[in-house]
Structures are given as C-alpha cells and as structure tokens.
Amino acid sequence: MVCKRHVLCQIVIEVFSCVHAAKVGKTSLIMSLVSEEFPDEVPLRAEEITIPADVTPERVPTHIVDYSEAEQSDEQLYQEISKANVICIVYSVNNKKSIEKVTSHWIPLINDRTDKDSRVPLILVGNKSDLVEHSSMETILPIMNQYQDIETCVECSAKNLKNISELFYYAQKAVLHPTGPLYCPEEKELKSSCIKALTRIFKVSDLDNDGILNDNELNFFQRTCFNTPLAPQALEDVKNVVRRNMTDGVKDNGLTLKGFLFLHTLFIQRGRHETTWTVLRRFGYDDDLELTQEYLFPMIKIPPDCTTELNHNAYLFLQSVFDKHDKDRDCALSPEEVKDLFKVFPYMPWGPDVNNTVCTNDQGWITYQGYLSQWTLTTYLDVQRSLEYLGYLGYSIIYEQESQAAAITVTRNKRIDLQKKQTQRSVFRCNILGAQGSGKSGFLQAFLGRNLQQQRRIREDHKSFYAISTTYVYGQEKYLLLHEVMPDFDFLSEADLTCDVVCLVYDINNPRSFEYCAKVYKQYFIDSKTPCVVIAAKSDLHEVRQHYSLSPHEFCRKHKLHPPQPFTCNMTSAPNKDIYTRLTTMAMYPVRVELLEQIVIWVFLCCCWSTRADLKNSTFWLRASVGATVFAVLGFAMYRALLKQR
C-alpha cells in the first residue's frame, strides 16, 4: 500500500480579481502562516516554502507556491497548475467581483489546464473576514454545488490569523482524503465505486457470513482500522445513530450492510472523510478505489528449483473461509455457495474446469478436500495469482499479517533434498506423457475417483489438464499434482520436463502407442534423475504386440525401470488408487528407491559370485536360496533403516 506520509502535497495559492482591482490577500495568507503575525509589508509574491511534516496535523510535508501576475507569465501559471496537488482559490469576502471571478475565470482556467479524469481538488478561501460582519457562505454554497472539484470553503483573515492553520489543514486533507471518489454531493449518496469497495470490506469483516456485523466483529474491525476497540457504550451509540435514521440498518443487534454504508455516508457528510479513507486504505485501496498492486502482489523471493506451498496458517484461514460459506454444512460448495464466496473478487476466478481438476461429490460440487486442493494447485503453479486471491479474501487483515506473503512457504532447493535424502515438501508434481488416445486423461480423472462411465459425462470444453488430490505416504498426507502433457514430441518445454516423477502412459490395445513413450524416455529422461514409471493403460482390453524393437517389459528391464504397471478405469466402482501412492512415494524418495534397486542387484550378484566356483555341486541351489534370502532380508533392513532416518 502506498504510504501517504511520503506524498508531497503542493499547494498553489493563485487567485486575483482583475488586474486593477484591490488585492485579495493571498500572499498575506502565506506570510501570516509562516510568521504567525500579519506582515507590515507584503511583497508581490511570497517565496516558495515547505512546511515540515512534523508540524502538520497529517504529518505530510507541504510545499506552498505563490503566484504573482506582475512578476510571472501565464505559461508559468499553467505550469504551476499542472504540478499542483490541490489549488486554493482566494477571494475577498468584501469584494463581489472577486467572488464572481471564481466562476467566470479561475475555475474554467484551471479545468482547461487539467485532465478531466484527474481533476485537482479546489479549496475556496474567503479572505479578509475581519472587514465584514456577514458571511459569504450563502453566495459560495451554490458554487460548491455546481462544481464537484471544490472540496470545501473556509473563511479566514490574514490580519487577525483567523483560520489560517485550518486553511492549510483542509488543503492537505483534500489531497489525502478527497471527497470526489467517495461521494456525490448532488445525489447526496456514496458513489458506486465506493459502495463496491465498502461492500467487500463489510463481507471480509463479516467473519460468520450472517449478513451482520456483531459486537465482536465490529470491535475487530475497529482494532484493525484504528488500533483501538470501541467501548460497549460507544458501540450502542453507533447503532442507535443508525436506528434513528433507518429501519433496516440494525438487525439482531448487529450492523447490516445498509447500516454500514449509512455510517460512512454520515462520516463524509459531516466532513470526516479521513475515517472512510482510513478504512479503505487499511483494506488495500488507493485513491481511485482500486486495490493497490503492493497489496495484491507483495514481494516474495523464489530461488531456482524451489516450489511454493501454503503454510499451516493459510490452510486454517482457507478452512474458515470454506466453513463461512458452506451454509448447509454438507462439506461441499454448491454453485451458489461458490458464487457467494467469490463476491469479494472483481471476477470469478474458478471456471468449470476446476470441477474436473479436484474431487467433487455426487452432485459435482467441490468438496472441502477439493477446495483445499485447488488452492494448493494455484499456489504451486502460480503463486502470484494465489497472493492476489488471498488479498481479495483479506488474509493479511484477518490474520493481522504484513501481507499475504506470510501465507506462503518457499521450499528449499530440490538438490538439497536429494543430498539429504529427505524432504519437507507437501506437494509433488507428476507429469503424464503419452501418445494421443493412450489414456492420459482417464489416468488423471481416475485419481479423483471417477471411473470411465463418469468421465464420459465431462464436456470437452470443461476438461482439465491437471488433477490434484491427497495421498498418504507412511502416514503423512501429501498432495500429488498430475499434469497431462500434450503429445508433441518435438516441442516439450522446460515446464513439461520439470517434475518430481514421470508417468509414461501407453494403450496396451494400440500397437503404436508404446513407441512414443520409448522415444520420449530416450530423448529426455534416460540420463535424468527424475523417477519414471510406465503405465500400461486400458488393461481391461486385449493386449496386442507393440510395434517397437523391444516389448514394454523388455524396454523397462533394459533401462532398469519398474515393469509396466497395469491400469484401467473401466469399472463400476471407483478406480484403485494404489498406483498414485506409489508415484508419490517415488517423488518423495527418488534416491532411496534407486538405492533399493541397487541393493537388490548387489544381493543377486553376491549370490552368483559365491556359487560361481561350484555350479555343479548338489547343494548349489540350497546354498543359493539361503544366501539370496539372507541378503534380501539384510537389504530390506537397510532400506527400512534409511527410511527411518527421516
């Protein structure tokens, strides 16, 4: 969020009546502010001065610029107008011509020199109030109603120092807390953009999603925005103000959205714009009532070969958001509940493909597990998008963190995991490669518990190339992310090859299906340390001979891969998920799986060596069997010991 304390508020005081008329006293105002006394001699133009931040109420440095028609040209005037953050138009309360010139000359001139979409706020200053007994407000109010750019009007006197400090306070306030973006004075109501922002703030603050802010929620809101709770009597006073002005502003002794909006309308009408702006800026909004880039996308450093995951607090927060919107407590989000959850977003972030990326119930609604899985997927694949989503939900505000970056864990480099032979990661990626029609999509959907009959109901435009769910490895819950890679052998990108484990899928009923797997393995993975598994898909069909120099089993044996794993999702019940647990295990412990294979080979070679000298001996087979058994037991014990090192 942009810190307003570093904004340079340049105040340009620049109004004359006509060339030969009496002066309105703009230079005297500046000199009276600086010296705190009325000057005996007034120059044509005051020098530019900067008021330090520590002596201003808003703690903002203020640069004040005067203008003299006698000393400066029109071009210099136009330059000052273009640089100004706020302009004070000074008139003399005892000179009707100077008041008339506010609308006939100065406001049109300023508007012609500023962009229509970013007009500079104006302050009308009636000087020389010591010379009259009446107020000019009756004349000025119609002008204020006519021009939206006019923030306020203040009458003052440079001679007796009346309202001099207040003048510059209002000028600062017009920059830091402008009325224009919030309120329409003609309609006497909040602008639509302000209503939209405050509605999001209300929904984020409504922690139980019952449509009202109870005392606890109001106190949390008060502490969040103003660093202090409200006393019980103060809370009642606030609600009583709302009750007196509207019938549906308070419900069940809590503040409704209408009541919440009414309070902010009242603040603005009473000149307390800073209250509403404090709330808006605390919730991430800028001067245009848009969420700032700094709020939505906080800095987070991700070194190479590291991944991003949600931490424990983030999952707790997301769980509370789910519970908040799961109205019927069925542990799933209906389409209406999903829509309600994302009302705090400027757009719908989840499309229909999400329902085919994560687990759903029998009605096709995203389950609690599926909901967390989708958040895990987004954080892993696009952490900036995840930060943005958490920003809309108000994570940093609800959990009182500096930013959403506090919700993210950046894992250590994968090479360190391999060296230490252990990992603390919770999300593992498996890329699925195979020829067209080999069964990759079926393998993804089976992970989500869908058999072939259920998969056929998925619309083509709702299909997903990802699937994510949880598996359990040695009692630990882990996320396995499956990604279907498009079968384009010549254009496999770095992202297609970067993963923790690879699945090479072929159709046992298609004689040309395995050739693609073999070529991909030899081209990209034969020298890689990424574990590879061959999946013999559609194993319920008749297996045909593959048109390749080696059979799938021979190929796996030659390249020291596991034998092809038979798989089918053509069944009436949910497909078996054992293969996915094995994939997760291989992703977690690639070195250990390789080591186990080495142990088995070592056992076999030792048995052969010990018996090679006497192959014809009658006790050979007995000795070989006993030796193999002993070495196998020792090897398995060594493997289990390595696993316990975790």
Measured between alpha carbons, how far is 607 from 626 in angstroms, rounded to an integer? 9
Q: What is the pLDDT of residue 635?
A: 55
Most distant pair of Cα atoms in the chain: their distance = 132
- The DSSP 8-state label assigned to residue 284 in this structure reads T
DSSP string, 467-483: EEEEEEETTEEEEEEEE
- The average pLDDT across 604-621 equals 44
With 80 as the cut, is the pLDDT of residue 627 above it?
A: no
* SS3 (DSSP) at 137: helix
Q: How many CB atoms lie within 10 A of CB 411?
A: 20
- Contact, 328 vs 430, CB < 8 A? no
Q: What is the dihedral of CA 549, 551, 553, 556, to 10 degrees?
A: 30
Quick one: pLDDT band at residue 291, thresholds 50, 70, 90? very high
Quick one: pLDDT band at residue 619, thresholds 50, 70, 90? low
Class of residue 12 by CB neighbours under 10 A (exposed 0-12, middle 13-18, buried 19+) = buried
- Tens of pLDDT, residues 372-425: 999 999 999 999 999 999 999 999 999 999 999 999 999 999 888 888 888 889
Domains in the chain with CATH codes = 11-177 (3.40.50.300), 189-290 (1.10.238.10), 295-411 (1.10.238.10), 420-592 (3.40.50.300)
Closest-CA residue to 606 (of 587, 629, 579): 629
Instruction: Calculate the alpha carbon distances from 438 to 174, 230, 425 in Å.
Output: 66, 65, 31
Please tell me which residue, 603 or 30, carries the higher pLDDT value: 30
- The average pLDDT across 104-109 equals 89
- The DSSP 8-state label assigned to residue 179 in this structure reads S
Q: How many CB atoms lie within 10 A of CB 437?
A: 13
With 80 as the cut, is the pLDDT of residue 528 above it?
A: yes
Q: What percent of the chain has pLDDT over 70?
A: 87
Q: What is the pLDDT of residue 531?
A: 94
- Tens of pLDDT, residues 544-599: 999 999 999 999 999 999 999 999 999 989 999 999 999 999 999 875 444 444 44
With 90 as the cut, is the pLDDT of residue 443 above it?
A: yes
- Contact, 440 vs 505, CB < 8 A? yes
Q: What is the pLDDT of residue 139?
A: 86
Q: What is the pLDDT of residue 591?
A: 55
Q: What percent of the chain has pLDDT over 90?
A: 55
- Alpha helix stretches (DSSP H) within 36-73: none
Q: How many CB atoms lie within 10 A of CB 421?
A: 15
Tokens of 298: 């906080």
Where is average pLDDT lowest: 63-77, 153-167, 535-549, 611-625? 611-625
Quick one: pLDDT band at residue 622, thresholds 50, 70, 90? low
With 70 as the cut, is the pLDDT of residue 628 above it?
A: no
- The DSSP 8-state label assigned to residue 12 in this structure reads E
Q: What is the pLDDT of residue 61?
A: 80
Class of residue 189 by CB neighbours under 10 A (exposed 0-12, middle 13-18, buried 19+) = middle
Average pLDDT over the chain, rounded to whole? 86
Q: What is the pLDDT of residue 17?
A: 31
Please tell me which residue, 193 or 414, carries the higher pLDDT value: 193
Q: What is the pLDDT of residue 270?
A: 86
Tell me the CA end-to-end span of the chain in Å, nearest whole number: 42
Quick one: pLDDT band at residue 83, thresholds 50, 70, 90? confident
- Alpha helix stretches (DSSP H) within 18-136: 26-35, 74-83, 96-101, 107-112
- The average pLDDT across 99-126 equals 85
Quick one: pLDDT band at residue 230, thresholds 50, 70, 90? confident
With 70 as the cut, is the pLDDT of residue 601 above it?
A: no
Measured between alpha carbons, how far is 566 from 579 in angstroms, rounded to an integer? 9
With 90 as the cut, is the pLDDT of residue 626 above it?
A: no
Quick one: pLDDT band at residue 602, thresholds 50, 70, 90? very low
Quick one: pLDDT band at residue 15, thresholds 50, 70, 90? very low
- Tens of pLDDT, residues 137-178: 888 888 888 887 888 888 998 888 898 888 888 888 888 888
- Contact, 313 vs 321, CB < 8 A? no
Reported residue count of the chain is: 646
With 60 as the cut, is the pLDDT of residue 13 above it?
A: no
- The average pLDDT across 257-273 equals 93
- The average pLDDT across 298-321 equals 96
* SS3 (DSSP) at 484: strand
Q: Which amino acid, 471?
A: T
- The average pLDDT across 260-289 equals 93
Q: What is the pLDDT of residue 348?
A: 97
Tokens of 460: 């083509």
Sheet with 532-537, side-by-side order of all strands: 466-473, 476-484, 427-434, 501-507, 532-537, 565-567
Quick one: pLDDT band at residue 63, thresholds 50, 70, 90? confident
Closest-CA residue to 379 (of 361, 356, 395): 395
With 80 as the cut, is the pLDDT of residue 339 above it?
A: yes
Q: Residue 50 pairs with which residues in a beta bridge?
A: 63
DSSP string, 141-157: HHHHHH-TTEEEEEE-B
Strand (E) positions, 96-243?
122-127, 150-155, 183-184, 189-190, 212-213
Block residue for tokens 């993210």: 408
Cα 505–chain centre separation: 36
Closest-CA residue to 171 (of 285, 11, 48, 298): 11
